[in-house]
Amino acid sequence: MLKKILVIVLSLSLLIGVFAGCQKTEEAGVIKIGVAAPITGNYAEYGKGFDVATQMAVDKINAAGGINGKTVELVLMDSKGDAKEATEIARKFTEDPEILAVVGDFSSTCCMATAPIYTEAKMVQISPTASHPDYAGMSEYMFSVMGRQDAEGPFVAEYLAQKYVGAEKMAVIYLNNDWGVSAHTNILKRAEEIGLEVTAVENFVDGEKDFTATLTKIRQTNPDTLCLVMFYNELVIISKQIKQMGWEDVKIIALGPGISEQIVQLGGADVEGIATSTPFMVSPDNTVAVAFKNEFEQKAGFTLNVHSACAYDATNMLAKAIGNLGDNVTREAIAAELSNMKDFVGITGPIIFTANGDVFRKYLIAQIENNKWVQKTDYSYVD
């Protein structure tokens, strides 16, 4: 009997030991910021951009002496663009008392899925890219620096489609997720107001590869312009399949991918002439931005896209807010500090949050010419 009890006690203590071994000791003098980004998967280009840009921001801050003498450390986690993965990451971040705030995630769906978890923990999630109009308003701890779809959608319909490419009959294909639904609704709304005829609206679910049937269906309606609301993977596949079908007389415009390098690399000659909207592009006379762009491209190995620039700005904003708070840094205080910040100027221009916690932006038009993204209009195009 004694022996048996001994065995039980031993095995129990072993079990406890295993779990106790997982507990880590705390470090002092470090400020930790979480980064949730799709490092792998369908949005990998954007995720890698997040990684490089946030690290660049932190390196600069640390080189200048850190925040109030403390060094900043990033904790990067790969959400794969998957909302379930993102919620698990959110749980890990909120449960780690050392992590003060989070930069991320890429997609609106991920951000909106994690919002309740961060809100419960009173932790700031500042997304570089989530542009769903409802996201930032979900709580006072949610922020977004990219701009909103109810600003970009109308721009795409009125200026990119109607004014720039001269569309008269347009068909829309959108990615069926939070962002895509919101983006295309805003396009359709403005299109109706300005009398731009929309001949067909089709959607697809993330991961779809065969668009032949959908394109055949759309071609029947004879549009002169195709508006693709999606990211680089599907955009490239659709452009290729359009070429494959021998459908030459259609102009392609895109909302979503920004000036993505992957489009040019994957698409080659098949994506020539695609035009897209972007809130930001580096102009040669902006020396700070040019220096940033060069350094980014050297580190990342691909062209700077707007998403990475926003990630850089988001990290810097967060650092500034933490710095302003001095010794009174709490998760909760960072949110108030961010929403009151009126003097931040980033790579992508001045950022001042609205009452919701997001930003209204102006947009540019860029187009692929000879395998390169070229800026075609400036901010005054709207006037």
Q: CB of 337: closest distance to another protein in angstroms?
A: 26
Q: Quick check: 91 binds another protein (CB under 8 A)? A: yes
Residue 147: C-alpha distances to residues 106, 283, 362 (Å): 13, 20, 8
Q: CB of 349: closest distance to another protein in angstroms?
A: 31
Q: Quick check: 237 binds another protein (CB under 8 A)? A: yes
Q: Quick check: 186 binds another protein (CB under 8 A)? A: no
Q: Enter the tokens of residue 243.
A: 């070429």
SS3 258: coil
Partnered with residue 36 across adjacent β-strands are 77, 104
Binders of another protein in range 332-361 (CB under 8 A): none
Q: Quick check: 113 binds another protein (CB under 8 A)? A: yes
Q: CB of 228: closest distance to another protein in angstroms?
A: 14
Give residue 382's identity as a one-letter amino acid code: V
Answer for the pair 173, 203: CB distance below 8 angstroms, yes or no: yes
Q: Which of 156, 121, 161 is nearest to 141 (CA)?
A: 121
Quote the CA–CA distance of 154 and 186 in Å, as a whole number. 6
Quote the CA–CA distance of 103 and 109 in Å, as a whole number. 15
How many C-beta neighbours within 10 Å does residue 356 have?
18
Quote the CA–CA distance of 122 and 332 in Å, as a whole number. 5
Q: CB of 20: closest distance to another protein in angstroms?
A: 7
Q: Quick check: 134 binds another protein (CB under 8 A)? A: no
Give the contact letters, 192-231, x = binds to another protein (CB under 8 A), - = no.
----------xxxxxxxxxxxxx-xx--x-----------
Q: CB of 358: closest distance to another protein in angstroms?
A: 18
Q: Which of 243, 299, 362, 376 binds another protein (CB under 8 A)?
A: 243
Q: CB of 326: closest distance to another protein in angstroms?
A: 29
**Side-chain half-sphere CA neighbours of 377 within 13 A:** 20
Binding interface with another protein (CB under 8 A): 4-5, 7-8, 12, 15-16, 19-20, 22-24, 40-42, 44-45, 78, 82-84, 87-88, 91-92, 95-96, 109, 112-117, 120, 176-178, 181, 202-214, 216-217, 220, 233, 236-237, 240-241, 243-246, 248, 266-268, 270
